[in-house]
Chain A
């Protein structure tokens, strides 16, 4: 069974640009979660999508947004990139908001220069 896949693995952007990160959940999982892992800060909850709808968002500015497609894959968009957005962005999936079934992907390393 394929795990959670994220693309690209690495992304380098210039300050002010937009970044798009993609996530494919485990087959059968309908919930997708996005977390930011910045150095020394652990994982910070960004967004939760389930059945195509945004269900919850963390304490991040509106320039962090995303969507979930009918096949349950998801996209995270970060607009007007700032240097402090440099981090590892992790996607996780689970069955209908089952926190006990969280499976993480390997992440996208975003570097803003």
Chain B
């Protein structure tokens, strides 16, 4: 299994809602990543987890809260988002520091 699975594929939420994005991999990778991609822009790194511990936080607003409950699962909890947070959220995983990233197909988020 060489897949990174993201759910849901699409999400529409209001500014007062609380929702979560889920990412799962079963490749035994110990590093997992969240990227945000606005339309016609490159992916921007948000968070990196290594061995279930937060390794990189790119000064992301606190309305985005990552969680890594185990080595296969990565969540992104969303609360009080703004319309400008509408984007494609990509999850990725890697075996180690010198290995390529495997990407999921993303969650397209719309904030109304």
On whether the two chains bind one another, the answer is no
Interface residues of B (CB under 8 A from A): none
